[in-house]
């Protein structure tokens, strides 16, 4: 790949990443002005864990979000105060705390999912099936790069 193409690809990735974050911050939290994007992503993780029957203990959520237990505790305390999450002591292990979304938390998660659904539909609307598959493979390679190189 030529230097010009490398610069163009780098500029594109940086721009798209920032655009998605800025857009998500404005539109995915629409209707939930007290919710930060970081809090929303934590809430999405909690909802996903509960819905998939995965481990929803605070320690597992912290690991999934790649944050320390202390950072998670602060964020969950905020979400709990705002009415998005509730803590429940594990019945079998009283040392563990399980996290559950409240109905308000579920509403924010649904809004976030709808934002992502709309984004994907708009991106692929004009692409033929074969171009959608090429895009998916290219994005998968980008994801694998980050997972292998930086996310351990």
Asked if pLDDT for residue 44 goes beyond 90, the answer is yes
Q: In CATH, what class is 3-149?
A: mainly alpha
**pLDDT tens for residues 63-77?**
999 999 999 999 999
Task: For residue range 87-140, list pLDDT tens digits in order.
Answer: 999 888 888 999 999 999 999 999 999 999 999 999 899 999 999 999 999 999
* Exposed/middle/buried for residue 78 (C-beta within 10 Å: 0-12, 13-18, 19+): middle
Average pLDDT of the chain is 93
Q: Which long-range contacts (CB under 8 A, 24 or more apart) does 63-70 make?
A: 65/41, 66/151
Say which residues have a Cβ less than 8 Å from residue 86's Cβ, sequence separation at least 6: 80, 99, 100, 101, 102
Mean pLDDT of 6-12: 93
How confident is the model at residue 77, as a pLDDT? 97
Q: Is the pLDDT of residue 38 over 80?
A: yes
**Mean pLDDT, rounded, for 37-56:** 96
pLDDT of residue 24: 86
Task: With cut-offs at 50, 70 and 90, classify the pLDDT of residue 152.
Answer: low
Domain boundaries, the chain: 3-149
Q: What are phi and psi of 127, to 5 degrees?
A: -90, 130
Residues 6+ apart with CB under 8 A from 69: 58, 59, 62
- What pTM was estimated for this model as a whole? 0.85
């Amino acid at each position: 790949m030529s230097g010009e193409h490398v610069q163009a690809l780098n500029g594109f990735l940086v721009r798209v990443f920032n655009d998605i974050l800025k857009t998500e911050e404005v539109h995915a939290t629409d209707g939930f002005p007290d919710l930060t994007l970081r809090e929303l992503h934590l809430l999405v993780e909690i909802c996903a864990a509960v819905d998939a029957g995965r481990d929803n203990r605070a320690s597992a959520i912290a690991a999934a979000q790649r944050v320390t237990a202390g950072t998670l505790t602060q964020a969950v305390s905020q979400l709990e105060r705002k009415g998005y999450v509730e803590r429940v002591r594990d019945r079998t292990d009283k040392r563990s705390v399980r996290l559950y979304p409240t109905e308000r938390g579920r509403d924010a998660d649904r809004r976030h999912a709808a934002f992502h659904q709309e984004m994907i539909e708009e991106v692929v609307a004009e692409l033929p099936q074969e171009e959608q598959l090429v895009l998916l493979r290219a994005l998968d390679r980008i994801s694998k790069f980050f997972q292998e190189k930086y996310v351990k």
